[in-house]
Amino acid sequence: MGELRFTSEVYSTPNRVDAPSRADDGGHTAPCSAPPRLALVAADPLLSSARRPHCAALGHDDAVAILMALHLPQIQLLGISAVHGNASLYNTVRNAVRCLLAFGSKEQIERIPVYAGAAEPLIRISRVDNEIHGEDGLGGVEGLPASDDPRVLAKLDETKGQNAVLAIAAAARSLPADQKLTLVATGSFTNAALFVSMFPELVKTKLDQVVVMGGAEGRGNRSPTGKLLAEYNILTDPHAASILLNAEIPVPLNITHTAIFRSHDNETLLRAGTPNPDKLVNETPATASSASSPLKAHTPLRHTLHTLLNFFAATYKHVFSFNEGPPVHDALCIAYLARPDIFHAKRYRVDVELEGAYTQGTTVVDLYDYRKDELKDFIADPESRRSWGKFGKNALLLEELDVVEFWKLFQECVDRADKVSMLNKAET
């Protein structure tokens, strides 16, 4: 089985890193380089191994994650599955398609499927986050195809009636014998939990790891009572998170509040690229920016990304008093797949509180190895797949990030997207 790697929302700001690979006896990771991976992304999950699936919830930071998954050469994106979370499933699956159409090349748009996944949590009542992401999950974004655009509807028709969890299983089975899949979950973990529950043999033989954005070491950003004990992606389906953490797969969590989109990142975004005099777009300064005069976006794609991150900055300032800019949480999952060398990680036991009236959804990280004697599988063989499961240290917590290198990665992805985006090819 693979590992579960978490990108958790901690509030420190380290920026030194080493590359995580395999844990030493103290739980730290040794540096390594990463081969290409196949991925599935879930928009509240994505599909990818040097092919990966991605599961996504689809909000503003999910959109940045999809952009990077499409344009990092170390990743082959196999598909995108949407899930409830930041908005309703109706909106998140459409947002996933809108982002694929806007950020992908013609070949990627034709090749990469988008699936609708779970519309509700396993047990608890569903919730959405309009306060942060707007009514449709991508509030304030200009330039994306509309949800009812014929191209969006045609892409949705390609997978109409197909189940996202079964699609992840089919993607895993289709891989050559020597290849494995990585599942990236950047929203609620419902799709991912259903997959590991329904297909344990595929988890053992074809799943390399699950990389997730969720949880918090200490204070979170949401809770049932407003006490900010839980992190939102865990709170939306804590039972799914518990199932995923107890599967025998490595799970990395990350330090997303270190990757803040600041005013200088906004200026680089707008000014970089080759300007097209016919398509320069006047911008007001980003909410997080101290710039006093408008800039011009050199391309329509950069204008779209500016409006996306500007709206996110405004809501984070209003709700969380983030004055320097928004954290691009989900994008760090994708960065980890491509460049594990810019992170430093340590392995822990992590559990999810399922019942507490005040604490449901809280991730309990055993920072001091108080439960060491209970972790029989980890003690027996810390390198085995079983050591990641119910009786092991089940999560690799990404604790430090080279922030400068991360933003270089982001800007490189925008540069690549600029060359192929249909937004830049559209008629003025």
Report the distance separating Cα 282 and Cα 300, nearest Å: 11
pLDDT value at residue 52: 53
Res 161: pLDDT: 92
Does residue 412 carry a pLDDT above 80? yes
Task: Determine how β-strand 3-7 pairs with β-strand 250-253.
Answer: parallel
- The total number of structural domains in the chain stands at 1
CA distance 173 to 167: 10
Which pLDDT value is given to residue 281?
58
Q: Residue 274 has what pLDDT? A: 60
Structure tokens at 358: 């005040």
Q: From the DSSP assignment, how many helices (H) and strands (E) are in the chain?
A: 16, 15
Residue pair 396/6 in contact by the 8 Å Cβ criterion:
yes
Largest CA distance in the chain: 67
Residue 398, in any domain of the structure: yes
> Residue 300: inside a domain, yes or no?
no
Lowest mean per-residue pLDDT among 26-40, 41-55, 237-251, 373-387: 26-40
- For residue 106, give the DSSP letter: H
Q: Outline where DSSP puts E strands in 234-286.
A: 250-253, 281-283
Per-residue model confidence (pLDDT) at position 9 = 42
Q: What is the pLDDT of residue 254?
A: 57
Active-site hit among 54, 298, 306, 329: 329
Q: Which two tokens stand for residue 361?
A: 């959804």
* Structure confidence at residue 293 (pLDDT): 37
Query: What pLDDT does 279 receive?
Result: 56
- Higher per-residue pLDDT: 145 or 289: 145
Q: What is the mean pLDDT of the chain?
A: 80
233 located within any domain: yes
pLDDT tens readout for residues 274-287: 665 455 555 544 44
Q: Is the pLDDT of residue 173 over 70?
A: yes
The residue assigned the tokens 């996306």 is 308
As to burial, measured by CB atoms within 10 angstroms (0-12 exposed, 13-18 middle, 19+ buried), residue 44 is buried
CATH of the domain at 23: 3.90.245.10
Task: Name the pTM for this structure.
Answer: 0.82
How far apart, in whole angstroms, are the C-alpha atoms of residue 70 and residue 208? 20
Q: Which residue, 158, 136, 166, 143, is CA-closest to 59? A: 136
The predicted model gives 50-70 an average pLDDT of 74
Residue 337 has phi, psi (to 5 degrees) of: -60, -40
Q: Does the annotation mark 133 as catalytic?
A: no
* Least-confidence region, from 18-22, 165-169, 403-407: 18-22
Report which residue type is found at 137.
G
51 inside domain = yes
How far apart are alpha carbons 63 and 69 in whole angstroms?
10
**99 part of a folded domain:** yes
| All residues at 6 or more sequence positions from 18 whose CB lies less than 8 Å from its CB, including other chains | 29, 30, 31, 341, 343, 344
**pLDDT score of 33:** 34
Of 13-27, 288-302, 373-387, the one with minimum mean pLDDT is: 13-27
In a domain, 310, yes or no: no
206 DSSP 8-state letter = T
Instruction: Tell me, yes or no, whether 345 lies in a domain.
Output: yes
Boundaries of domain holding 185: 3-259+327-404+412-425
Question: pLDDT value at position 24?
Answer: 38
Q: For residues 357-385, give the mean pLDDT.
A: 87
Beta bridge partners of 302: none
- Of residues 2 and 241, which shows the higher confidence score? 241
State the average pLDDT over residues 423-427: 77
Average pLDDT, integer, range 206-219:
85
Confidence of residue 370 (pLDDT cuts 50, 70, 90): confident
Cα-only R_g, the chain: 20
Express as a percent the part of the chain with pLDDT over 70. Answer: 75
b (16+ CB within 10 A) / e for 120-141:
bbbebebbbbeebbbebbbbbb
Tell me the per-residue pLDDT of 323-345, one tens digit each, with 9 for 90 and over: 788 888 889 999 999 999 999 99
Whether 378 is covered by a domain: the verdict is: yes
